[in-house]
Structure 1
Amino acid sequence: MGPPIGVVSRSTLMSKRDRNPASAALRRKAWMLIVLAACWLPCVGLWAGTSDDATRLRALYQNLKPQLDNNAFHRRMYLDSQESFSTVTGEVYAEVDYPFATVSNVLDYQSQGLANWCELLILHPNIKYCRAPGTNSDNMLALNISKREAAAELPATYRLYFRYDAAARAPGYFKVKLHADSGPLNTRDYQIVLEAVQLGSNRTFLHLTYAFSYGLVGRLAMKSFLATFDRGKIGFTNVAGPSAAQAEYVDGIRGLVERNTMRYYLAIDAYLATLSSPPDKQLEQRLSTWFNSSEQYARQLHEIDRQQYLRMKQDEYRRQQTE
C-alpha cells in the first residue's frame, strides 16, 4: 500500500533528491554552514564576555585615577577591603610599568604559570612551601602556610590545595584564579584572583583580589587567633572620621586581609621587576625587592629584620626545590 495522497514518503523524497548531484552538494554546503553557525555563536558570546571584562577594567582604571594619582602608598595603587559576617575580601588596583605581554606571559601561561606563581608566592613570609604536586594538566598548587612570619617546619604548617584556572582571556586582557576549598581555622573558599588589562605599550593595570569565607565556628576561631597572635596589628584603611585629629586604621579580620593582600601584590611586583635579571640573581633580587617594598609600610607589615627574612626564604626556597 502506497503513501496517502498528498504525503510523500521519506524514502521517495530522498531518492529523488539524490538523483541531482548539484542539489546534494548544495545541501551539504548548507548543512555545514548551519553547523559552523551553531559552533560560532557560543564563541562570540565567550569573546564578547571577556572583551566586556577588558572594557570594564579600563573604565575602572579611569574612575580610580584620582586615587592612583594621590595616595599614601607612594606608588600608583589603591587598596580596598570589605568584611561581611561570612566573607572578607581585600583588593589592590595598581598601574605598573610592565608591558602587558610580559605580565601575561609569566602569570597567564598555563605550561609555566604554576611554577611562576610558586616563585612569587614563596616571597610572602607566611608561605613556607609551594609546589605543583601533579602534572601541568592537574592545575593544582600545594601551599603550606604558617601562623607566624617566622621559620617553621612543614609538619607545623597548614597545607592548602589551590586549583589554578586561566579563567578568561581576550586581546589585551586576562584573568587567572587560584581557589582552595578549605583552609586553617575552619575557613574555606580561599581565592586569589588576578586580572590585567593593557593600558599602553609599556603599562598594565592590575586588579588583585584575595578573599576567604568562614562560618560561625571559623569566625570565632579567627577572632581567637587574632587576639593571640595578631594583637595590635593594623591594616591600611583609615576608619577615623573626617574630623578626627589623627588616623585610626582598621584592625581585626579586615586588617589581616589588607596586610596579606598587600603582601601578595608586592610579591607580584617583585617578581615582575626582576624578570630581566640573570637567572642566578633573580631569587636574591626578588627577596630584596620584596623586603624593601614591605618596609615602606613597616607599621603594617614589619615582622622580622632583613637578614632573618632573607635567610628564612633562601632556606624555604631550597626546601621547595627538593621536597
Structure 2
Amino acid sequence: MIAGLAHVGLRVVDLGEASARWCAQFGLHEVGRADGRATLACDDEPCAIELLDAAGQEPGHDHTTWRLRTGVSLEDAAARLAGAGVETRREKDAIWCEDPEGQRLKLIPARTGLTGWTSFARAPSGAPLGHPRRLGHVNFLTGRLEEQIAFHTEVLGFALTDHLGEDAAWLRVGGLHHELAFVRPRAGQEPRLHHLALDVVDVGQMRMTMDHLGRHGRWLSWGPTRHGVGGNIASYVRITEEPLHVELYCDMELIEADHRPRVWPDDRFSSNTWGPLPPRSYFRFDAAAIASERDSLETRGVPLPDPSEPARP
C-alpha cells in the first residue's frame, strides 16, 4: 500500500528561525510557507521536512507522512485501515491515523507530475549546491516492537528486512534496505522519533556536510560508522532545538526480490563494522545526556548521569 516516505513533520518554536537554520545547515530549501507551516525540500520533491508552529506545544516530532502506491486511492487506504480496526480522519488530500503507540501518520496520494527521468536528468530545482539527495528513512524508539512490526507489515504493507536480536527491526517498501526502523528504548525512555535520515550520496559529500555543520556548532552523537545491518555509512548529528538526531548516510544495501528477513546478533559488528558502539547519550534526549555528549564526557571516563540528575553547566 505504501510507496515511500514523503516527509517528516516537526513542531518548532520559531518558524522563521527554524526554516532558516535547517536550510543553512543541511542544504535544504524552502518551497512554501502558509498557515503556520514551512515546507522544506532536498531537491525537486514537494516536501522532505514540514515545519509547524508549535503554538505552545513542545517542539519535536509531529507526524510522518507516507505516499501511497500508484493505483491505491485514499478511499482504498481508509477501507484497509478501517478493516484493521484503525481509526482514521480524512482531509481533502490525506488520511490521518496513529500507530500502536500514538505516533501520528499521514497518508497522501501517489506523487504525480514528474517525468520518468532520474533527478539528474530533470530540470534544475531551487536546491543549493551540495544538497542532500533525499529524505531516506525514519527510526523510532518503541516499547511495543512486535505490535509495530505487525501494524506496519499487515496493515500498511511494509516488508520486514532484518531483526537485530530481539530489540530492533528494519522495514522497507521498495528495494532499499529500509525506510523505517524501530529500536527498543532503554529503561525509562518514552517511545519517540529517534532520527530522520538524509541521503548524502557518498562519503565525500558527507565529509563536506560535517565540516559545514561543525562550523555551525553541531557535533556528531555517533559516527562515522559502517552499519552491519543495512550496510550504510552513517554519521549522526545531534539536534537540540527539535530534539532528535539527523543521520547523514550513503551506500545502503539493496535488497533482492527473494530476500528473507535475517536475525543479526546484537553485537558491536552488527551495529558498526568499523568500531565502537554509540555512547549511551545517543539514545537519550535529556539535558544531562546532551551536556555529556557535547563535551565527550563518556569517552573521557565520566559516567553518563542518571536522567534525574541535573546537567553539568
TM-score norm. by structure 1 comes to 0.24
Structure with more of its chain in helix, by fraction? 1
Structure with more of its chain in strand, by fraction? 2
